[in-house]
Structure formats: structure tokens, C-alpha cells
């Protein structure tokens, strides 16, 4: 197992690469894709957001509440809330990011702890210390998120 720095909010990234694939550049791209799944909101770059999620009915996103987004079409309609000018990005940080690349090199999974700091109508709208896991697949030469899950630890 190798340890490398990925420039994602100054966090260390622990990477596991199979014996058949030793590609730190690939891990860095995957790390950037994961970070962009939150960081797109800084400039409300919906093109970036849409470029990093799977555009099919198998996409799934599980929120820490009872919300489960199933498929790209539902993802698009759910994203509309972020267009509200009262919803403002402050910062995000991925802590303890661990990325594992499959032996075939076309699937990766990750774990981290997320701080997603925002405001809505001047009030904090934060997800702090959220456990975040997910799966990416390399499609047509580009990494896309096909599944991810956010959860709060039980107190």
C-alpha cells in the first residue's frame, strides 16, 4: 500500500492499487473526481457536476436522511435546489480519503469523512463529519460516480 498526497483540501489520501496496476496518476484523477462531486458547488458548475456522475438508471445516491436518489433523471431534478441563490458554498474537506482501484483498473471505490460547509438564507447548512463511500467506473476513458452513500455516525 502506498501513501500519497492528493491536493484535496490539504487531506492525505491513502491509496490501494492492485498488484497488476500501479498508476498513481489514475488515483489522483479519481480523487479529483470525488472532490469535484462536492466542489462543483463553489461556482455552481453544473456542467462539471453532470460530467462526473453516471448518466443512466443505475446511478444511486443515498443521503444521510431517508432520501435515496435513483437514476440520473431523478438526480437532475434533485439538483435543482442548488440553483437557489440563497444556497451558498463555503468550503469542503475530504478527510482520510482511501481509494482502491480494481485489478482490472476500470472500477474504484472510496471512503472518506466529509465536511461540506454551506449556508442557506444566511444560516448554516452543513454536513460535518459525514461518512462518505462510493464507487466509480471508468467509462469511455473518464471516471464517473455510479453509486455513493452519505451517513452520519450514530451518537
CA distances from 2 to 9, 24, 41 (A): 20, 9, 31
Digit-coded pLDDT (tens) for 69-117 = 999 999 999 999 999 999 999 999 999 999 999 999 999 999 999 999 9
Q: Coil, strand, or helix at residue 150?
A: strand
Residue 152 has pLDDT above 50, yes or no: yes
Per the prediction, the chain carries an average pLDDT of 87
Q: Which of 51, 117, 107, 110 is nearest to 79 (CA)?
A: 51
Cα separation, 14 vs 122, whole angstroms = 36
Q: Three cell numbers at 35?
A: 472532490
Residue 154 has a pLDDT of 77
The single residue listed with the C-alpha cell 438508471 is: 57
Give the helix, strand, coil percentages of the chain, each rounded to 5: 25, 45, 30
Residue 65 has a pLDDT of 86
Cα separation, 97 vs 118, whole angstroms = 21
Residue 3 has a pLDDT of 32
Q: What percentage of residues in the chain have a pLDDT greater than 90?
A: 79
Digit-coded pLDDT (tens) for 8-48 = 333 444 444 444 345 888 999 999 999 999 999 999 999 99
pTM: 0.84
Cα separation, 90 vs 39, whole angstroms = 10
CATH class label, 2-152: alpha beta
Per DSSP, 63 falls in state: -
Residue 112 has a pLDDT of 98
Q: Coil, strand, or helix at residue 96?
A: strand
Domain boundaries, the chain: 2-152
Amino acid at each position: 500500500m502506498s501513501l500519497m498526497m492528493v491536493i484535496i483540501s490539504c487531506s492525505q489520501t491513502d491509496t490501494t492499487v492492485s498488484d497488476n496496476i500501479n498508476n498513481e496518476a489514475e488515483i489522483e484523477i479519481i480523487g479529483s473526481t470525488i472532490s469535484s462531486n462536492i466542489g462543483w458547488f463553489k461556482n455552481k458548475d453544473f456542467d462539471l457536476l453532470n460530467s462526473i456522475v453516471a448518466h443512466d438508471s443505475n446511478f444511486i445516491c443515498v443521503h444521510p436522511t431517508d432520501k435515496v436518489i435513483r437514476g440520473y433523471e431523478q438526480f437532475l431534478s434533485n439538483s435543482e435546489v442548488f440553483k437557489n441563490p440563497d444556497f451558498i458554498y463555503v468550503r469542503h474537506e475530504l478527510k482520510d480519503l482511501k481509494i482502491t482501484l480494481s485489478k482490472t483498473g476500470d472500477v474504484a471505490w472510496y471512503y472518506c469523512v466529509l465536511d461540506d460547509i454551506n449556508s442557506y438564507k444566511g444560516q448554516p447548512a452543513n454536513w460535518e463529519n459525514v461518512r462518505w463511500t462510493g464507487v466509480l467506473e471508468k467509462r469511455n476513458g473518464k471516471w464517473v460516480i455510479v453509486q455513493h452513500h452519505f451517513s452520519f455516525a450514530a451518537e
